[in-house]
Chain A
């Protein structure tokens, strides 16, 4: 997914849409449920416990990434709106 090079409001909104799409994909990522498959019904011990805890941490890293991406998309949309408003108020 390549970034459009131009900086028009339309381009900015396209970039935001792309980022939102990635966020949406991540929101349903298989990793988010992976820790459930690594519980005490599958294995036990110090290393399995570490792995399970690690997977839980990864889950929060991914949800953090989703949040980062949505925030980035929102900023782009805001910039697009501001740019469009500027173009309307300064005709020609």
Chain B
């Protein structure tokens, strides 16, 4: 039995903001099913008492000194943007508004 359906893949793609094509959905659903069946092996490990590791370096509360250092200029920060206007990133309409 498949672990992941075409519909689930479509839903996940929407969540991940990927406008995938029908053809991609067909391909990905099969491939992801193979991958998921393989990675599901992690479930075979009896690990109820095992704490999770998110990170191999046990550092916590890493702060820098509260000193002002030069950062990017506004010009540099905007230089790579697809679109900029009035020293800001310009984006398409976010909310429905009257024209």
Indicate, yes or no, whether A interacts with B: no
Binding site for B on A (CB under 8 A): none
Binding site for A on B (CB under 8 A): none
